[in-house]
Amino acid sequence: MNITLAQAEQVIAAAKEKSIAIDTKMNIAVVDAGANLVAFARMDGAWLGSLDISIKKAKTARFFDMNTGVIGSLSQPGGALYNIEHSNGGLITFPGGVPIKNKEGEIIGAVGVSGSTVENDHTVAEAGAGAV
């Protein structure tokens, strides 16, 4: 099961709405179940350097079916996933990537958000993921 373009657009809209509510500008990426980019939005004035980060956060969340912040905690020195960020062409292991589930609880894609603090990135990603 894959996220549809219509659902990905709902994710983007909800994430943008949350970004505006917390007064920040974000790059927002949505990938399908195969970690392929389905939709992307760069809010006016969002950092250019965060574009790639948002896409990698979405892919990382889908590759491992967990929030990127969780992967980050496991990838610290001495952790079970230490150095995992060097795999798969480069992963992002700090908050802002969240899997997206359908009504049945199946993962159909993921959203990645970057452009502010990791706390804000995660908050916006959660808002986006919750739109489906």
- CATH code of the domain containing 43: 3.30.450.150
Whole-model pTM: value is 0.95
Counted domains in the chain: 1
Judge whether 62 and 110 are in contact, CB under 8 Å.
yes
Domain residues for the domain of 26 are 5-129
pLDDT tens, residue order, the chain (132 aa): 899 999 999 999 999 999 999 999 999 999 999 999 999 999 999 999 999 999 999 999 999 999 999 999 999 999 999 999 999 988 999 999 999 999 999 999 999 999 999 999 999 999 999 999
Q: Is 18 helix (H, G, I), strand (E, B) or coil?
A: helix
Phi, psi of 82 (to 5 degrees): -50, 130
Q: Is 67 helix (H, G, I), strand (E, B) or coil?
A: coil
